[in-house]
């Protein structure tokens, strides 16, 4: 199977199922057997997913991609051994990052709900015009991409987490702020936006926000 068919949803599902690390192997860049060069799509997905992992508190090194040919058996063994050792050093998913199991699942589920939107943003705003690994890595590390990520994905991720919280019951701005590590002003901004979209409402009696 072409590495370009490895979807972001597959990676998040693996972590939701408790996998401590995900490794993706693809054919060498610019040596693709197909005209699509899907291994570049896989590289873009991994670089974006690692940014998402860092945002929700997971070590990005738990996700790795490498490119090699079918004749690189020794290299493949070395890479897999190195990745396995690194995952053992990091420890169990979530626990090593100081998260309780419910908190880990909550954060991953918030991402999981956004996957169709994230893929749309990647397709519309995060396409790299050139084909080299160096250019891809520089592009996804650039200030421009960081700004796009914060504006279009980071904010949506925060709202996804807030809506998941409110699904359990009404909460005050302070409670949301404390649970998610956001400032009260950030929570208020997200609540105002969500209220205009008809997603949440303010319960005057409880002085709390609830799902609309």
Q: Give pLDDT tens digits for 93-138.
A: 999 999 999 999 999 999 999 999 999 999 999 998 878 999 999 9
Provide the domain limits for residue 62. 3-166
Rounded distance, CA 69 to CA 30, Å? 11
Reference 65, options 84, 45, 81; nearest CA is: 45
In-domain check, residue 206: no
In-domain check, residue 99: yes
pLDDT at 75: 93
Residue 171 confidence class, pLDDT cut points 50, 70, 90: very high
- The single-letter DSSP state of residue 151 is I
Reference 139, options 67, 10, 51; nearest CA is: 51
In-domain check, residue 211: no
**Burial class of residue 78 (count of CB atoms within 10 Å of its CB; 0-12, 13-18, 19+):** exposed
Q: Does residue 35 carry a pLDDT above 80?
A: no
Residue 32 confidence class, pLDDT cut points 50, 70, 90: confident
Tens of pLDDT, residue by residue over 37-82, are 889 999 999 999 999 999 999 999 999 999 998 888 899 999 999 9
**Burial class of residue 77 (count of CB atoms within 10 Å of its CB; 0-12, 13-18, 19+):** exposed
In-domain check, residue 101: yes
In-domain check, residue 184: no
> 200 with 187: CB under 8 angstroms?
no
H or E element that contains 201: strand 200-203
pLDDT at 2: 87
Reference 174, options 163, 164, 186; nearest CA is: 186
The number of domains in the chain is 1
**Averaged confidence pLDDT in the chain:** 94
In-domain check, residue 173: no
In-domain check, residue 44: yes
pTM of the complete model beyond 0.75 = yes
Rounded distance, CA 20 to CA 88, Å? 9
In-domain check, residue 87: yes
Residue 178 confidence class, pLDDT cut points 50, 70, 90: very high
pLDDT at 129: 81
CA angle 200, 201, 205 (to 5 degrees): 145
């Amino acid at each position: 199977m072409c590495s370009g068919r490895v979807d972001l949803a597959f990676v998040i599902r693996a972590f939701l199922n408790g996998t401590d690390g995900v490794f993706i192997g693809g054919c060498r860049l610019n040596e693709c057997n197909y005209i699509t060069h899907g291994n570049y799509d896989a590289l873009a997905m991994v670089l974006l997913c690692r940014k998402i992992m860092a945002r929700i508190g997971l070590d990005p090194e738990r996700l790795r991609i490498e490119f090699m040919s079918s004749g690189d058996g020794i290299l493949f063994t070395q890479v897999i051994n190195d990745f396995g050792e690194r995952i053992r050093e990091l420890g169990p998913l979530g626990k090593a990052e100081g998260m309780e199991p419910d908190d880990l699942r909550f954060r991953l589920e918030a991402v999981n709900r956004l996957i169709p939107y994230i893929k749309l943003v990647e397709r519309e705003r995060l396409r790299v015009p050139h084909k080299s690994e160096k250019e891809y890595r520089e592009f996804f590390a650039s200030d421009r991409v960081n700004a796009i990520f914060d504006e279009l994905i980071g904010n949506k991720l925060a709202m996804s987490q807030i809506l998941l919280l409110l699904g359990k019951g009404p909460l005050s701005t302070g409670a949301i702020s404390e649970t998610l590590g956001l400032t009260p002003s950030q929570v208020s901004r997200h609540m105002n936006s969500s209220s205009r979209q008809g997603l949440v409402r303010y319960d005057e009696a409880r002085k709390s926000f609830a799902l609309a």
